[in-house]
Structure 1
Amino acid sequence: MNTSLKTAKASKALPSVAEPLAKTDSRPVRALVLSGGGARGAYEAGVLAYIFQELPTRLLANAPVKILCGTSVGAITACFLAGSAHLPHMNTARLLDLWRRLRLDKTLRLRVVDVLRMPFELRATFRQEASGVVLNSAVLQEIVVRETPWIQIRHNIRAGILSAVTVSATHVASGRTVTFVDRTEGGTPPWSRDTRAAARAARIRPVHAMASAAIPYLFAPIAIDGAWYCDGSVRQNTPLSPALRLGADRVLTLGLRYDGQDADWPPKVEEPAPQPLALMGKLLNSLMLDNLDYDLKTLQGFNEILRSGQAALGDVFLDHLRETSNRFRVASYRQVESVFIRP
């Protein structure tokens, strides 16, 4: 099934994931996964506003989002939605208005004096009060701290409006992707055996969102309980994992990477040598855009193996696979429907 949302396109996928503990409620659990991408969060807000305000109400009434997972700028959006989950349309009109009111001249610091001070500010980025080397984090902090109803996040989880909220950040010292989990049951579910990823139970606060969105060298890293964290997209290889580990059966993902295909590749004309600023832009682009595309394709491929194996060998194939995966992953596999929206 392909769904078109104005300028965004969605493709349906059926990835396979590790299955959590059995649920008492037979209804599918739906999750919203929000990725990184810096200022592309404005696009993210626009798509969400369209989904929650323009789509028929009956579609969302019968399919409420129970799990919110965010990384980088997606963490800021996820926290805003978590605090607004009890409101009509999750208050996405307000979210969109906040992005529309952002001004480049208030966020970007590229005056001559700022460029001259940059070497000194690079050394000072590990001060908690540092505002950022190139970008002014005060503008972002205003959205995070003042506009997000933080206390309401816990109320919405306790009331059952949401079952879990996660925010992922990169632990600077170890390079691990740490996912902070706030859920109804408390604690964390069985997590990945990958030593590059870890889960921590937490009451999601502004500091978690700011840490997840702290793009290296653009924003200062953030200290949480004595440890320093930066942008969650830096080392997050499996952005779908938090939602799936928390029991999602249906996943809506918003990607920020354009999937345009260049028919003229490789180029037929000689390209000019890249300039230093262009190379810096490519580097930041690689940091800020996550591995959501690759994660989905990997899971789709594994899911096809499951379908083919079941068709050829019957349910005994799935039984043996689940038995093996339970020994190694403390979880079995299942199919999860996914809709992926990208520019």
Structure 2
Amino acid sequence: MRPPRPPTALVLSGGGTRGAYEVGVVAGISEVLDTDPGSPALFDIFSGTSVGAINAAYFAANADAHDHRVERLVDTWQSLRLNDHARVRLLGLTPMPETLSRFAKSTMLGKSLLDTRAVEVLVRRTVDWERLHRNVDAGIVRALMVAALHVVSGRTTMFTEGAPGVHIADTRDERRVTAFERITADHVLASAAIPLLFPTRKLGEHYYCDGGLRFNTPIAPAIRAGAERLVVVSVRHARSLREVAAVEAADHAEMQNLSPVFLVGKLLNALLLDPVQYDLQVLDRVNQMMEVLEETLSPEDLERFHRVWVRHRGSAYRRIKTLTFTPSRDLGRLAAEYMRKSVTLKDLSGIARYLLERAARDSAEAEADWASYMLFDGGFAHELIEVGKADARARADEIREFFA
């Protein structure tokens, strides 16, 4: 009889439409492992921000299936329609007097560039929220954690739903706070509320927006929930030196005729794509330190070491096995290529058509960073999913060793 799998976390970062890449990676992992329908699910701890929170909630709600029913989520992403899920409304940025009196009673605050009704319906329908809670209550899911930014204080709130009997250490980081409660569609919509693009969300008596502004790849919460293995999926492409030089040259050319579309893309990059590699480097150093301490300290001294750190940081250090995925292709450039070749503009509203036409024209030699966040189109999602699947297949041996 095989021993039970160690607690395994899936950590998903934010990034708008780039979240389709995350789904592709999970689909690729499932394909590589080819587990039997009766096998336990791949993951039992889920931590996500923004679109990563939406994907994480779906995978947690389907943790009763060996493959997390990932192909259904693939189908959902590929069914997106640009005119439904990326509807632009300039008037949405202009407060209307008749709406001001309703702000206090609304679950949303402020205006947004995108009409979010279709996205909200999609989130509420795609995730089986009752099954999610049943999976948590049954211990199939140890924890689901969703990051959102508390607007007034500027602190990140990790909304956390944990299984009975599972200890989840609270953070000692003053920039963050943990809130233990049932995760709902409103929590993940708050986590995904990119300022200006989506309206701020009200949860209880407080307003929240995109968690990626401060905590785009929430690794530490997964560790505090007891994860012994981490699969981390970032949507930031690790550029080679040659790619960096090419992008800088293209950006310099774009700066000669600076466009708002170009600036929006760079702003979204700055806000949402945090350097997750730094956190992973810290984790690697901790793993190396623990390996040395476990080899050199007596059991009694090692226990004293652990007690000191529990007192200071809420949990002991331990070695954690990690598997990290980043896109092998530049998703901004992929978006530019897709818009030039595949996007049909005739059915779009006037402002949306203008923005896409401008981006496709201006991105002939550069990236379309903004589009890689906002291009809610099934065809583009398919391309991102295929990149994710290919990246997983390319590391099949690592995946099998990790889950062995």
Q: What's the RMSD between the two structures over aligned residues?
A: 3.1
Cα pair 1:306 1:318 within 8 Å, conserved = no
Is residue 276 from structure 1 mapped to residue 253 from structure 2 by the alignment? Answer: no
Is residue 44 from structure 1 mapped to residue 6 from structure 2 by the alignment? Answer: no
Relative distance call for 1:338 and 1:196 in structure 2 (3 A) is same
How far the C-alpha of 1:237 sits from its partner, in A, is: 6.9
Query: 1:330 corresponds to which letter in structure 2?
Result: G
Q: Structure 1: which 5+ residue stretches go unaligned?
A: 1-24
Is residue 164 from structure 1 mapped to residue 143 from structure 2 by the alignment? Answer: yes
SS at match of 1:233: helix
In structure 1, distance between residues paired with 2:9 and 2:33 = 17
Number of residues of Structure 1 aligned to a counterpart in Structure 2: 315
Name the structure 2 match of 1:148.
127
Query: 1:52 corresponds to which letter in structure 2?
Result: S
SS at match of 2:194: coil
Quick one: which of 252, 262, 280 aligns to 2:231?
A: 252
Higher strand share: 1
How far the C-alpha of 1:302 sits from its partner, in A, is: 3.1
In structure 1, distance between residues paired with 2:50 and 2:68 = 20
Relative distance call for 1:195 and 1:248 in structure 2 (3 A) is same
Query: 1:338 corresponds to which letter in structure 2?
Result: T
Name the structure 1 match of 2:363.
none
Cα pair 1:38 1:288 within 8 Å, conserved = no
Q: Structure 2: which 5+ residue stretches go unaligned?
A: 328-404
Relative distance call for 1:280 and 1:317 in structure 2 (3 A) is farther
Q: Deviations over 1:202-223 (max 9, x none)?
A: 1111111111111111100110
In structure 1, distance between residues paired with 2:17 and 2:197 = 12
Cα pair 2:145 2:161 within 8 Å, conserved = yes
In structure 2, distance between residues paired with 1:87 and 1:269 = 47
Cα pair 2:216 2:272 within 8 Å, conserved = no
Is residue 239 from structure 1 mapped to residue 239 from structure 2 by the alignment? Answer: no
Is residue 103 from structure 1 mapped to residue 103 from structure 2 by the alignment? Answer: no
Cα pair 1:233 1:288 within 8 Å, conserved = yes
Quick one: which of 234, 255, 273 aligns to 1:289?
A: 273
SS at match of 2:158: strand
Higher helix share: 2
Relative distance call for 1:54 and 1:142 in structure 2 (3 A) is farther
In structure 1, distance between residues paired with 2:80 and 2:209 = 22
Name the structure 1 match of 2:308.
324
In structure 1, distance between residues paired with 2:165 and 2:13 = 24
How far the C-alpha of 1:27 sits from its partner, in A, is: 4.8
Query: 1:146 corresponds to which letter in structure 2?
Result: R
Query: 2:308 corresponds to which letter in structure 1?
Result: T
Q: Deviations over 1:22-76 (max 9, x none)?
A: xxx9751111111111001111122222222453216993673111112110111
Q: Deviations over 1:311-336 (max 9, x none)?
A: 66676774453232122123211000
Relative distance call for 1:62 and 1:222 in structure 2 (3 A) is closer
Q: Deviations over 1:73-102 (max 9, x none)?
A: 011111111222223521111101111011
Cα pair 1:128 1:220 within 8 Å, conserved = no
How far the C-alpha of 1:303 sits from its partner, in A, is: 2.7
Query: 2:317 corresponds to which letter in structure 1?
Result: Y
In structure 2, distance between residues paired with 1:96 and 1:330 = 38
Name the structure 1 match of 2:330.
none
Query: 1:286 corresponds to which letter in structure 2?
Result: A
Query: 1:61 corresponds to which letter in structure 2?
Result: S
1:297-312 aligned at under 5 Å gives the runs 297-308=281-292
Q: Deviations over 1:243-278 (max 9, x none)?
A: 100100011111110012123755796923243332
1:41-190 aligned at under 5 Å gives the runs 41-57=19-35, 61=39, 64-110=42-88, 114-115=89-90, 118-120=93-95, 128=107, 133-185=112-164, 189-190=168-169
Relative distance call for 1:60 and 1:165 in structure 2 (3 A) is farther
In structure 2, distance between residues paired with 1:118 and 1:301 = 46
Relative distance call for 1:259 and 1:176 in structure 2 (3 A) is same
Query: 1:333 corresponds to which letter in structure 2?
Result: Y
How far the C-alpha of 1:178 sits from its partner, in A, is: 0.6
Quick one: which of 204, 208, 222 aligns to 2:183?
A: 204
Length-normalised TM-score, structure 1 = 0.81
How far the C-alpha of 1:242 sits from its partner, in A, is: 1.1
How far the C-alpha of 1:307 sits from its partner, in A, is: 3.5
Relative distance call for 1:92 and 1:238 in structure 2 (3 A) is closer
Cα pair 1:107 1:137 within 8 Å, conserved = yes
How far the C-alpha of 1:239 sits from its partner, in A, is: 1.4
In structure 1, distance between residues paired with 2:53 and 2:276 = 15
Q: Deviations over 1:290-311 (max 9, x none)?
A: 4432211122123333334556
SS at match of 1:170: strand
In structure 2, distance between residues paired with 1:132 and 1:93 = 34
**Mean alpha-carbon deviation: is it higher for 270-279 or for 77-86?**
270-279
SS at match of 2:173: coil
How far the C-alpha of 1:139 sits from its partner, in A, is: 1.9
In structure 2, distance between residues paired with 1:31 and 1:60 = 20
Quick one: percent identity of the two aligned structures? Answer: 36
Query: 2:168 corresponds to which letter in structure 1?
Result: P
Length-normalised TM-score, structure 2 = 0.70
